[in-house]
Structures are given as C-alpha cells and as structure tokens.
Amino acid sequence: MFKKRIFEIIEKAQEGDIPSTIFDIAIIILIILNIIAVTAASFDAFANSHLLLLHRFEVVSIIIFSIEYLLRVWTAEYKFPNSKIPNIRFVFSAGAIIDLAAILPFYLPFVTGLDLRFLRVLRLLRMFRIFRLGRYSEAMAIIGKVLKKEKEKLITTIILTVIMIFVASTIMYYVESPAQPEVFKNIIETTWWSIATFTTIWLGDVYPITIAGKICGGIISLPGIMLIALPSGIICSGFMDELNKEKKICPHCGKEIE
C-alpha cells in the first residue's frame, strides 16, 4: 500500500488528493525556477556574481529530480499494470526519457572525461525540464494525445514537404545557378531558399533574379504555403476532437452533456 500511495502522490493529482496536489505544485514551481536559472546563467555578469548560488540551486534541483525519477521507476508497475517488465517500459517511455535528459547533463561530467567546451553545449539539455510541465498540465497532455493520434498524418505531411522542398531546390538550382553561381552553388545550398519560401520566413538574402527563376519561385510558393498549412489543420482538428471528448459533446445536437 505504501508503494501504491507513493505512485499516487507523484502522479498527476486526483481531485481531493492534497499531498499529490502539493507535490505537483512544488515540482511545477521547481521546474519554472530552473528555467529562470538557466536563462539567468546566460548573462555573464549575473552568472559570475551568483555562481555559487546557481550551483547550489542546481545541486538541490538535481537531487529532487533524481529522487522523483527513481520513485517513478520503482512504482512503474502501477503505471503499466499489464506489462511484464514495467520498469524497463517506463525507462523507455517518452516522459522518462525527458526526465532523464533533464538530469543527465549534471552527472555526465563525473562519469566521462568530456571536453569542457562540449559541456557548455550539453548544459542546454537542462532546458528539457520545461517539457516535464506537460505531465501536470491538462492542455499540454491534450496536445500530446493529439500528436500521438495524428502522427501518421503528420509524418505523411512532413515526408511530402521534404520531397517538395527537394524538387523545388532542384528546379531553382538549374534555373538560377547560371545567373547566380555564388548564391545557388548546388542543390543542397539552394535548399535554404526552398525552406524560407515554403515556410514564408523569407529573409531576402537569397532570391531569384531571372525572369524564369521568379516565375518558378511564384509557382513553387503557392503549393508550398498550402502544404505548410496542412499540419496546422490536422493538429487543430485533432485538438477539437479531444476537447469534445473531454467535454462529452453530443454528436447529434452538438450540445455539452451534463
């Protein structure tokens, strides 16, 4: 019973479960403070003057997050009651991987002889702690369900987008490279123009100057805009479906069921 109660506390709080609610709020506050600390550490003046404070806060946070992670591994049998290896299944679940990525950068320097310059990059993984908020946020949980439910459609859209970007890059390279060999050097470098055009984030650094290139660019941009809009439509549709499930909307009259 003790083990099950620990599981109930560290999982998302049910209505009326005060200890679990307090635990959730405490973890959320700790995650937010960690994001603030990571951001503050990017200011050299602040990081140098509060180095000891930031280090102590990091140590305390890691201890708490590590204990929480171990408790989740320990109580995994209640999360996956039908699994023969619940602990292993939990370790390789998306939530557990995010949890591990959030604490791993702290331990790696003690285990491996990593280059100090690489450690600065590795510290970016601490920002993974922000994704842990999804465990305690209903809205983020719904988004996670939507992405999981619509993953086949999204993957298909992504593959189609990649194909269209490659085709557009190939066409633009052969049309524009004779006039701008220093800009459209090869198909791979031309991909930047295609990505900027398809995502409508055109910055003006690469653009066609020939009449044929401009015509091709205009033709390519139109289906590109529609294609980029597809994932938004898929996610919005899935999001509305999940909200209707949560609200128990009647499929016949469209009214919310009490």
Q: Do 33 and 97 sit in the same domain of this protein?
A: yes
CA angle 173, 175, 177 (to 5 degrees): 55
Q: Residue 72: how many CB atoms within 10 A of its CB?
A: 22
Residue 80 belongs to some domain of the structure: yes
> What is the tens place of the pLDDT at every residue in 80-91?
888 889 899 999
Q: Is residue 216 part of a domain?
A: yes
Burial class (CB in 10 A: 0-12, 13-18, 19+), 193: buried
> Is 121 in the same domain as 242?
no
Q: Is 70 in the same domain as 128?
A: yes
Domain annotation covers residue 145: no
144 is a domain residue: no
Do residues 35 and 127 lie in contact, with contact meaning Cβ atoms separated by under 8 Å?
A: yes
237 and 160: one domain? yes
Q: Are residues 17 and 108 in the same domain?
A: yes
Tell whether 236 is covered by a domain.
yes
Of 93, 110, 136, at which residue does a domain stop? Answer: 136
Q: How far apart are CA 53 and CA 45, in angstroms?
A: 14
> What pLDDT is attached to residue 116?
46
Intervals of the chain under pLDDT 50? 115-119
Residues 227 and 119 in one domain: no
Task: Provide the CATH number for the domain around residue 119.
Answer: 1.20.120.350
21 and 61 belong to one structural domain: yes
Q: What is the pLDDT of residues 94-142, one digit of tens each?
A: 778 878 877 887 777 776 655 444 445 555 555 566 666 666 666 666 7
What does the pLDDT read at residue 136?
60
In this predicted structure, what is the pLDDT of residue 138? 65
Whether residues 159 and 132 share a domain: the answer is no
- 118 and 169 belong to one structural domain: no
Whether residue 131 lies inside any domain: the answer is yes
* Beta carbons within 8 Å of 255's beta carbon, 6+ residues apart: 249
Residues 127 and 162 in one domain: no
Query: Which class for 111: exposed (0-12), middle (13-18), buried (19 or more C-beta within 10 A)?
Result: exposed
- pLDDT at residue 236, rounded to an integer: 81
CATH (domain of 195): 1.10.287.70
Q: How many domains does the chain contain in total? A: 2
188 and 233 in a common domain: yes
256 has which bridge partners?
A: 249
Q: How far apart are CA 11 and CA 24, in angstroms?
A: 8
Same domain, 238 and 119: no
Domain that includes residue 198, residue range: 151-247
Of 113, 136, 159, the residue at which a domain comes to its end is 136
Residue where a domain stops, chosen among 136, 164, 188: 136
pLDDT of residue 67: 92
- Written as one string, the DSSP assignment of the chain is -HHHHHHHHHSPPPTT-HHHHHHHHHHHHHHHHHHHHHHHHTSHHHHHHTHHHHHHHHHHHHHHHHHHHHHHHHTHHHHSTT-SSHHHHHHTSHHHHHHHHHHHHHHHHHHS---HHHHHHHGGGGGGGGGGGGGT-HHHHHHHHHHHHTHHHHHHHHHHHHHHHHHHHHHHHHHHTTT-TTTS-SHHHHHHHHHHHHTT---SSS---SHHHHHHHHHHHHHHHHHHHHHHHHHHHHHHHHHHHHHTB-TTT-PBP-
What pLDDT, on a 0 to 100 scale, did the predictor assign at position 151?
A: 81
Place of tokens 């020939």: 210
Confirm whether pTM is higher than 0.75: no
Task: Tell me if 44 is assigned to some domain.
Answer: yes
The answer for residues whose C-beta is within 8 angstroms of residue 10's C-beta and 6 or more apart is 20, 23, 68, 71, 72, 75
* Within a domain: 126: yes
